[in-house]
């Protein structure tokens, strides 16, 4: 392995007299850097070190990249780092370096590492036995007292006794590599994630400076809402994460709807579930417990205010299905004045319509199972979110339910967060509901329901009979009534 020309090499020309008793004169030597790891260093956990699980490994085959570190030449060209994660204020950090020298006689060398002109590993002795050395080296010059992400390129140098320092370089793929990437995450508490993936650390530690859980919670939330200023959440590979960015909400997209936080950091796009779970995981990195909740209209609260239409809709197989749906319209929507609402345009032969007090006709153009009204009465004005830069207001606001995050403070207070739309923190569910539905605003949201279905006669080739089928469901809406009308459930 040491003769491999792709390995890191550093030439030396020591003098014949080294000044070290009982040591023979040294011939020119080549020193190789074989690997470096934070997680493999002795006392890693005692010094506040934490597991960092790779984003791309399965839950049944977890890979701790902090312990694995970097291995040369295997990891060259893969864009990976030597990664570590530490709780702030826990003491000195060490890195384990594996080195080799192309001579079998026992000898002593000295190594050091820098980031630019800043020392990261001070000159430290390394004893080679049978051409190999493995040593834990303390870091210097990096603050360990605040939340932050430290991402640097280190250059390594080595010398033997009686010689000068020379750089360690890697010849790989026709190039010379002389800088090696490291990434350190610092958290305010020990992570409580079941699987603390690297991207969860990356999101949790994106904003620097926190020294306690309350500050960390504030800064994590600031990162989630920075899309309003054109700064977007990314995974550890630097890929921007989206909320219904590549796939807009609608029917037949269960793969996107069901994506969790793991899926979001891998596929880079998800529904509200993935975003709520990502916030939960980012808070958990700092040891902060939170819960994902599914917010939806509560039927017993909606029915007395608006009524709740119900229909037996043909199922296309000769039977009928009881249909009753009420969902959320996230602000902003533009509503026609009640006195200017147009009559329902279909005759009883054309459609079954029973709107209750969902009198505003509304379309959901991305839902292939709904029919379109000739003249809608409420218009979705769209809203911003974790979309692509330059896309502007593109996210639709018609949802059956919506995932949010609840933090219960030790003193009994609550904080409700909506990471998909950047709403919060709110001190109660009702306060969040008022914001989500835009009560008192010029263009509030509201609630929607299925208010009917369009009739169509279709020939059944099996029976030879004409059968009534549904050409599409009809949606009606109502501006947000006085609250509360929403409930928050455990989605599990």
Residues 110 and 176 placed together within one structural domain of the fold? yes
Residues 274 and 314 placed together within one structural domain of the fold? no
- 8 Å CB contact between 70 and 34: no
- Range 84-108 average pLDDT: 93
Residues 353 and 465 placed together within one structural domain of the fold? yes
Which of 267, 289, 311 is the last residue in one of the domains? 289
Domain carrying residue 245: 198-289
Residues 183 and 216 placed together within one structural domain of the fold? no
pLDDT tens digits for range 325-355 = 999 999 999 999 999 998 999 999 999 999 9
Structure tokens at 309: 């239409």
User: Which of 146-155, 201-210, 302-311 bottoms out in mean pLDDT, i.e. has the lowest?
Assistant: 302-311
- Classify residue 403: in a domain, yes or no: no
- 8 Å CB contact between 96 and 83: no
Nearest to 454 by CA among 474, 436, 481: 474
Average pLDDT across the chain, whole number: 88
Q: Distance between terminal CA atoms of the chain?
A: 52
Whole-number Å distance between alpha carbons of 80 and 181: 8
Structure tokens at 173: 């793929």
Whole-number Å distance between alpha carbons of 85 and 81: 12
Residue 218, SS3? helix
Which of 289, 322, 348 is the last residue in one of the domains? 289
Residues 90 and 124 placed together within one structural domain of the fold? yes
User: Which of 6-10, 197-201, 400-404, 439-443 bottoms out in mean pLDDT, i.e. has the lowest?
Assistant: 6-10
pLDDT computed for residue 197 by the predictor: 98
- 8 Å CB contact between 371 and 363: no
Residues 99 and 60 placed together within one structural domain of the fold? yes
Structure tokens at 208: 């620097």
Residues 270 and 346 placed together within one structural domain of the fold? no
Q: What's the number of domains the chain is made of?
A: 3
What pTM does this model have?
Answer: 0.89
Q: Is 413 exposed, middle or buried (0-12, 13-18, 19+ CB in 10 A)?
A: exposed
Residues 74 and 135 placed together within one structural domain of the fold? yes
User: Which of 21-35, 137-151, 452-466 bottoms out in mean pLDDT, i.e. has the lowest?
Assistant: 21-35
Which of 187, 212, 229 is the last residue in one of the domains? 187
Residues 335 and 454 placed together within one structural domain of the fold? yes
Residues 107 and 125 placed together within one structural domain of the fold? yes
Q: Give percent of the chain with pLDDT exceeding 90.
A: 68
- Classify residue 235: in a domain, yes or no: yes
Confidence of residue 68 (pLDDT cuts 50, 70, 90): very high
């Amino acid at each position: 392995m040491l003769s491999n020309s792709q390995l890191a090499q550093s030439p030396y020309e020591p003098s014949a007299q080294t000044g070290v008793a009982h040591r023979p004169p040294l011939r020119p030597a080549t020193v190789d850097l074989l690997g470096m790891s934070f997680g493999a260093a002795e006392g890693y956990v005692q010094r506040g070190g934490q597991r960092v699980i790779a984003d791309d490994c399965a839950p049944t085959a977890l890979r701790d990249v902090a312990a694995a570190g970097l291995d040369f030449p295997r990891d060259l060209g893969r864009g990976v780092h030597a990664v570590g994660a530490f709780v702030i204020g826990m003491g000195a950090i060490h890195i384990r370096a594996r080195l080799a020298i192309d001579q079998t006689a026992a000898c002593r060398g000295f190594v050091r590492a820098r980031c630019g002109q800043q020392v990261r590993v001070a000159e430290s002795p390394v004893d080679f036995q049978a051409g190999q050395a493995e040593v834990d080296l303390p870091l210097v010059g990096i603050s360990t007292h605040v939340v932050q992400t430290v991402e640097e390129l280190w250059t390594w140098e080595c010398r033997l006794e009686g010689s000068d320092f020379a750089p360690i370089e890697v010849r790989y793929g026709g190039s010379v590599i002389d800088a090696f990437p490291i990434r350190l995450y610092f958290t305010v508490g020990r992570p409580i994630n079941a699987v603390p993936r690297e991207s969860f650390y990356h999101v949790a530690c994106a904003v620097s400076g926190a020294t306690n859980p309350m500050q960390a919670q504030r800064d994590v939330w600031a990162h989630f809402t920075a899309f309003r200023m054109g700064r977007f959440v990314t995974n550890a590979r630097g890929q921007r994460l989206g909320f219904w960015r590549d796939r807009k909400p609608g029917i037949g997209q269960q793969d996107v709807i069901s994506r969790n936080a793991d899926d979001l950091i891998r596929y880079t796009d998800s529904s509200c579930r993935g975003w709520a779970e990502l916030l939960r995981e980012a808070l958990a990195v700092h040891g902060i417990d939170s819960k994902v909740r599914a917010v939806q209209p509560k039927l017993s609260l909606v029915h007395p205010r608006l009524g709740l239409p119900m229909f037996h809709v043909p199922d296309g197989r000769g039977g009928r299905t009881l249909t009753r749906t009420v969902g959320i319209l996230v602000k902003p929507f533009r509503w026609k004045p009640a006195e200017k609402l147009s009559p329902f345009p279909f005759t009883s032969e054309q459609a079954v319509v029973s709107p209750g007090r969902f009198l505003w006709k509304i379309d959901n153009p991305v839902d292939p199972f709904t029919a379109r009204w000739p003249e809608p009465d409420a218009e979705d004005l769209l809203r911003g979110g974790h979309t692509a830069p330059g896309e502007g207001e593109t996210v639709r606001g018609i949802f059956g339910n919506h995932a949010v995050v609840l933090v219960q403070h030790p003193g009994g207070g609550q904080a409700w967060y909506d990471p998909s739309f950047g709403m919060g923190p709110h001190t109660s569910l009702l306060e969040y509901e008022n914001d989500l539905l835009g009560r008192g605003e010029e263009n509030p949201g509201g609630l929607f329901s299925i208010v009917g279905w369009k009739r169509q006669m279709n020939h059944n080739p099996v029976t030879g009979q004409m059968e009534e089928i549904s050409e599409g469901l009809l949606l009606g809406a109502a501006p947000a009534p006085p609250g509360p009308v929403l409930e928050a459930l455990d989605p599990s």
